[in-house]
Amino acid sequence: MSESVTIKTLDGENSFAAYVARPEGTPTAAIIVIQEIFGVNEGIRRKCDHWASLGYLAVAPDLFWMLEPGLELDADVEDEFNKALGLFGQYNPDDGVKDIEATIHWIRREAGVEKVGCVGYCLGGKLAYMTAARTDIDASVGYYGVMIDQMLGEKHAIAHPLMLHVPTADHFVGPEAQAAMHAGLDDHPKVTLHDYEGLDHGFAAEMGNRRDEAGAQLADSRTEAFFAEHLA
């Protein structure tokens, strides 16, 4: 079962929409699905529906609500891809983490689910890292997160498990950035990095030209096992 809900911002002054997919029975835990730069589109909703089929409450907040509420873009359409890049340039990820924290509060207080994880892609991968460092979320996963190498100063605040999926041929996260991530995080007791040789940014997209089936299945199986362990 899926629906749209409204979540209040942390300051209570505004609110934003979120797509919610509910399991058939009582949720075992909740997973926040953090969008790419393309909004809460069909691919993100499908990921929520999949988590719900595994028994989780899945929530995808509309993080671009301040720029263009209800945005849905297709990464395979050039004009839409370019529009998404423009919005990424305007977006303040600090605001995104606050909205994710508000979503955590909604899940625990309104939905009554205590254990909460998050999984994010692209921009959402960066936000998953920031959420691990800045909130009390129980477990976080980032796929091809951008600019994490520039935020390694926050790693000391990561208190709960974090997994990062890193495609080695990511044209948005180059070899130097990947090397910095490994140098800064490989010895962190709460962080696990997985490299995907030769794969590019977006390889685990639910649909479209970017998806690599074998890579996506491997990464997603690791993510499912990770949440099964840390959200139990």
**3-state class (DSSP) for residue 107:** helix
Q: For strand 139-143 and strand 162-167, is the pairing parallel, antiparallel, or unpaired?
A: parallel
Q: Is 170 a catalytic residue?
A: yes
Please state, in angstroms and rounded to a whole number, the distance separating the CA atoms of residues 198 and 158: 29
Could you say which of 99, 138, 149, 170 is catalytic? 170
**Cβ-Cβ contacts under 8 Å for 29 (sequence gap 6 or more):** 56, 57, 113, 114, 115, 116, 117, 138, 227, 231, 232
Q: Among 190, 22, 43, which Cα is nearest to 113's?
A: 22
Could you say which of 62, 138, 165, 201 is catalytic? 201
Please state, in angstroms and rounded to a whole number, the distance separating the CA atoms of residues 60 and 103: 9
Q: Which residues are catalytic?
A: 170, 201
